[in-house]
Amino acid sequence: MTVLVTGGAGYIGSHMTLALVDLGRPVVVLDDLSTGFRSAIPDGVPFVEGCVGDEELVGRVIAEHGVEAIVHFAGSIVVPDSVTDPLGYYLNNTVRSRALIASAVAGGVKRFVFSSTAAVYGEGSSEPLTETAPLDPVSPYGASKLMTERMLADASRAYGLAYAALRYFNVAGADPEGRAGQSSARATHLIKVASQAAAGLRDKLQMFGEDYPTPDGTCVRDYIHVTDLAKAHVLALDYLAAGGASLVANCGYGRGASVREVISSVKRVSGADFLVEPAPRRDGDPASLVADPSKARSTLGWTPDHDDLDEIVGHALAWERRLAERGAAA
Ligand X SMILES: NC(=O)c1ccc[n+]([C@@H]2O[C@H](COP(=O)([O-])OP(=O)(O)OC[C@H]3O[C@@H](n4cnc5c(N)ncnc54)[C@H](O)[C@@H]3O)[C@@H](O)[C@H]2O)c1
Binding to ligand X, residues 77-96 (CB under 6 A): 77, 92, 96
- Nearest CB to ligand X, comparing residues 73 and 212: 73
268 by DSSP, 3-state: which?
Answer: helix
**Does 246 sit near ligand X (CB under 6 A)?**
no
CA 216 to each of CA 209, 219, 258: distance values in angstroms, whole numbers, following the listed order:
11, 8, 7
d(C-alpha 101, C-alpha 52), whole Å: 9
**Does 282 sit near ligand GDU (CB under 6 A)?**
yes
Strand spans (E) along 187-302 = 204-208, 220-221, 223-225, 247-251, 257-258, 275-279, 288-289
Q: How far is the CB of 6 from ligand X (least distance, A)?
A: 6
Chosen residue from 16, 226, 259, 296 binding ligand GDU by CB under 6 A = 259
CA 64 to each of CA 74, 93, 120, 274: distance values in angstroms, whole numbers, following the listed order:
20, 25, 35, 51
Q: How far is the CB of 120 from ligand X (least distance, A)?
A: 10
Chosen residue from 17, 31, 112, 300 binding ligand X by CB under 6 A = 31
CA 212 to each of CA 3, 188, 287: distance values in angstroms, whole numbers, following the listed order:
42, 20, 6
Q: How far is the CB of 243 from ligand X (least distance, A)?
A: 26
> Using an 8 Å Cβ cutoff, are 279 and 106 in contact?
no
82 binds, among ligand X, ligand GDU, none (CB under 5 to 8 A by kind): none
- Is 168 one of the catalytic residues? no
**Does 205 sit near ligand GDU (CB under 6 A)?**
yes
Largest separation between any pair of C-alpha atoms in the chain:
55
β-sheet bridge partners, residue 163: 112
Chosen residue from 139, 170, 196, 258 binding ligand X by CB under 6 A = 170
For helices 259-270 and 190-198, give the axis angle rounded to 10 degrees: 30
CA 104 to each of CA 4, 5, 117, 159: distance values in angstroms, whole numbers, following the listed order:
10, 13, 22, 10
263 binds, among ligand X, ligand GDU, none (CB under 5 to 8 A by kind): none
Catalytic residue among 11, 121, 141, 163: 141
**Does 118 sit near ligand GDU (CB under 6 A)?**
yes
Chosen residue from 3, 5, 9, 69 binding ligand X by CB under 6 A = 9
**Does 302 sit near ligand X (CB under 6 A)?**
no
280 by DSSP, 3-state: which?
Answer: coil
β-sheet bridge partners, residue 27: 3
Chosen residue from 5, 11, 208, 312 binding ligand X by CB under 6 A = 11
Q: How far is the CB of 178 from ligand GDU (least distance, A)?
A: 22
Residues that bind ligand X (CB under 6 A): 6-7, 9-13, 31-36, 51-53, 73-75, 77, 92, 96, 115, 117, 168, 170-171
What positions carry a catalytic annotation? Answer: 141
Residues in contact with ligand GDU by CB under 6 A are 77, 79, 117-119, 168-170, 188-190, 193, 205-208, 219, 221, 259, 282, 285, 289
